[in-house]
Amino acid sequence: MKKKALIFTLDAIFAVLIATSIIVSSYFYFSKTDILTYTQQDIYRVSLDTLTILEKSSTLKNAVETSSTTNINSFIDTLPNRICTNVTIFDKNSNTVLHTLKTGCTRSLGERTFTSRVFIANYDVYYARVNSWYE
């Protein structure tokens, strides 16, 4: 009877341990994936908004026409501290025309998002690409 009880107790302990480890690892896996998805969404939306504002305020157009990124920098430098962004302007043949990076940011190899927006300057077609990531 005593032996049986011991085996039964050990069995129960193993079962509880295995179940707990499965639950804990699942929780970490799922919660990590979700945070990543929502983080990317956040930064993607920031990129979309940044490009839209830069285009609708004619900042991109003026940058090409004056060959200066000063006004682009003035805007991207006001983004929240943790968000890093760089803006690159290409002509219609995808040659780089202008490039600028938010002050205090360094290039990241981690998670980042890309968005592009087209605009007209000097009666020609250009597009800007914003690349954003969390510092």
Partner 1 sequence: MKMIKKSKKGILFTITTIFLLSAVFMLSKTYFEYNKDSRNTVTFSSFGDKLNFVEDDIVSNIYSDLLWLNISSITRQNNEVIINFLKAGKLSPNINHNNLFQNYETFIEGTYATLQNLNITFNNFNPTFNINPYNTRFVYDSQELSIYNDRDYLKKILIKIKANATNLVSNTTPSTDGHDYPEINVIILNKNNVIVYDANPQQDPDEMGIFEIVFEDGKQVTVSFGVIGESPSGTLIVDNNFYTEITQLELRYDEIDDKLLFESDANLSITSQLEDITKATEIILLEE
Segment interacting with partner 1, rule: CB under 8 A, options 65-73, 77-85, 103-111, 123-131? 123-131
The answer for residues whose C-beta is within 8 angstroms of residue 95's C-beta and 6 or more apart is none
Segment interacting with partner 1, rule: CB under 8 A, options 6-14, 49-57, 70-78, 103-111? 49-57
From 20, 41, 68, 74, residue interacting with partner 1 (rule: CB under 8 A): 41
Q: How far is the CB of 103 from partner 1 (least distance, A)?
A: 26
82 binds partner 1 (CB under 8 A): no
Radius of gyration of the chain measured on its C-alpha atoms: 25
Going by C-alpha positions, the residue among 25, 116, 130, 129 that lies closest to residue 84 is 130
The answer for residues whose C-beta is within 8 angstroms of residue 134's C-beta and 6 or more apart is 39, 43, 82, 83, 84, 110, 111
From 59, 85, 88, 115, residue interacting with partner 1 (rule: CB under 8 A): 115
From 102, 117, 132, 133, residue interacting with partner 1 (rule: CB under 8 A): 117
100 binds partner 1 (CB under 8 A): no
On whether the CB atoms of residues 69 and 122 are closer than 8 A, the answer is no
Segment interacting with partner 1, rule: CB under 8 A, options 63-71, 81-89, 98-106, 109-117? 109-117
Q: Which residues bind partner 1 (CB under 8 A)?
A: 30, 34, 37-38, 41, 44-45, 48, 52, 55-56, 92, 94, 115-120, 123-125, 127
